[in-house]
Amino acid sequence: MSIHIQYLEPGGTVEDAAALEQFQKQWATYQKMVDHDSLSHKKVGAILHEALAAKARPFDFLDIACGDAGQMKRALEGTRARQYRGIDLSEPALELAAKNLAGAPFSVELETATSLKH
């Protein structure tokens, strides 16, 4: 298992840096909501796990706005996943995702874009 974090457009700037900073500051609050299952993450994760575990062939999984990937690690456990690719704007979230996915039995690729252009 290897984890690769790819930074797209190094040295770029996020167009709404204030919004990104606010999001990163609120991460702890969001994580508390996830931990207490306030947004039904556990139930949704269980449904997703059942669907993925039923897949007979190996598959790759793309997770857009993956955050810390904590829920996806549980959803992919015991499945035939061969690759997980997570994309998020938050570099700190991807660093947490790398820790959460350490030891996963599938390859992991994490990406962030430091520059957003419309």
pLDDT-derived band of residue 25, with 50, 70 and 90 as boundaries?
confident
Long-range CB contacts (within 8 A, 24+) of 95-102: 95/5, 96/67, 96/68, 96/69, 96/70, 97/66, 97/67, 97/68, 97/69, 97/70, 98/3, 98/5, 100/68, 100/69, 100/70, 100/73, 101/3, 101/69, 101/73, 102/1, 102/3
Task: Over range 104-115, report the average pLDDT.
Answer: 82
pTM above 0.85, yes or no: no
Supply the pLDDT for residue 39: 56
What is the fold of 3-113?
A: Rossmann fold (3.40.50)
Per-residue confidence (pLDDT) for residue 26, from 0 to 100: 76
- pLDDT, greater one: 112 or 24: 112
Q: Is the pLDDT of residue 7 over 70?
A: no
Distant-in-sequence, close-in-space partners of 82: CB < 8 Å, separation ≥ 6? 58, 59, 60, 106, 107
pLDDT band at 91, cuts 50/70/90? confident
Task: Describe the crossing of helices 27-35 and 17-25 by its angle, rounded to 10 degrees.
Answer: 40
Work out the mean pLDDT of the chain and round it to a whole number: 79
What is the pLDDT averaged over residues 65-83? 92
